[in-house]
Amino acid sequence: MVGDRVEIVVDAGGTTRTWDVEATRAGKLLCARALAILRMTDEARKDVAACEREGSETIRLGITPALMLVCGTEIALTVREQLPQVFLSIIEAMSHVLVESLLRGEADYILGYDVPDLPQLSRIALLQDDLVLVTPPGLHKGKPIAFVDVLDEVLAMPEEGDTVRTVVARTARDLGLDLKITYEVRSVSAMKSLVVRGSASSVLPYFAVLDEVRAGKLDARPITMPPIRRTLFLASSNQRPAFKNEAGLTGAVRSSLTGLLEALGPLAHPLWMRTA
């Protein structure tokens, strides 16, 4: 093609014939408009892609296994709906492990219990929840139990460093009592299995055994005198640059905890209205 002229070569039966074809005025106009539309479409595609890249960001959120079961899905769906520009990557681990991940820069935010007050961390207290003694079903269904009597049980508890183990051990120490642990188990499901078999009792958050309690496989007894209470924090490192969607993420996490509050009932004590 040269300018507006097109050279057509046809080989028919060994005879080569050549024609020069020139577009009509209308054809030239149509071609020019079509090329302009293609250029505009390509530029629009590039501009939209650049805009999406500019506004999008990946946020790594750590959450405990028990919380993941009760509100992890809701958090993922809420962030997707309210913050479509955020790609949420969820990390699942025990609270004390999540704190270490946060300090190492392997997580951007964590939703965990009793996060320590460290200068390199920012914390928002969301709620407190009272732990329960989990036992096989029996005569004391749902009946409160004094902490001193909890320590007489054959206990299956998490490893040292776990927030449940820490708060139980601290309460026993403050009261001058001995904490005796028969089974040290990292897995919540393994602890529940030991209780179902009648081999032990355990101190756990109520929402971790909610399904088994409703099914009549386990019993959950509130602990009193004193209650064993933990604080749930949304924490982040203040050693990294701020995210554009930090406020949006905080709001999405808070709104996703409605189901957790409903599941805990009187065992829950919301705090975010005091820290907003």
Q: Dihedral (C-alpha) 209, 211, 214, 216: value to the nearest 10 degrees? A: -70
| Best CATH choice for the domain 55-128+232-275 from the list 3.40.190.10, 2.60.40.10, 3.40.50.10090, 3.90.420.10 | 3.40.190.10
* pTM listed for this prediction: 0.76
Give strand pairing partners of 9. 18
pLDDT digits (tens, 9 = 90+) for 17-41: 655 667 787 777 777 777 777 777 7
Distance CA 149, CA 70 (A): 29
Give strand pairing partners of 29. none
Between CA 171 and CA 174, with CA 173 as vertex, the angle to 5 degrees is 65
**Domain edges within the chain:** 55-128+232-275, 129-229
Is CATH 3.40.190.290 correct for 129-229? Answer: yes
Token pair for 150: 């909890």
What are the CA-CA distances from residue 130 to residues 18, 29, 133, 262 (Å)?
A: 91, 77, 10, 14
pLDDT digits (tens, 9 = 90+) for 173-203: 999 999 999 999 988 899 999 999 999 999 9
pLDDT digits (tens, 9 = 90+) for 79-114: 999 999 999 999 999 999 999 999 999 999 999 999
